[in-house]
Amino acid sequence: MTTIKIKGMSCKHCVMAVTKALGGIDGIKDVQVDLEKGEATFTEEKPIDRAIVRERIVKAGFDIAD
């Protein structure tokens, strides 16, 4: 499992948007987003480039905390 910090989520709609953005990436599955912790957890079926993850998250209107 991989866990990343997501910046900018404030409600369950944000959670859904982030879940959808991550779930749309080829090779990522089992996406779980925790609003209170500001974290997203997922399984990588193959190594996923962090730049791609960041790009999708930014496109959805959020950002990743390093």
CB of 27 to Cu ion, least distance (A): 26
Q: Which residue has the tokens 């193959």?
A: 46
1 binds Cu ion (CB under 5 A): no
By rule CB under 5 A, what count of residues binds Cu ion?
Answer: 4
The yes or no reply on residue 2 touching Cu ion (CB under 5 A) is no
CB atoms within 10 A of CB 44: 14
Q: Per CB under 5 A, which of residues 5..64 are in contact with Cu ion?
A: 10-11, 13-14
Q: How far is the CB of 9 from Cu ion (least distance, A)?
A: 6
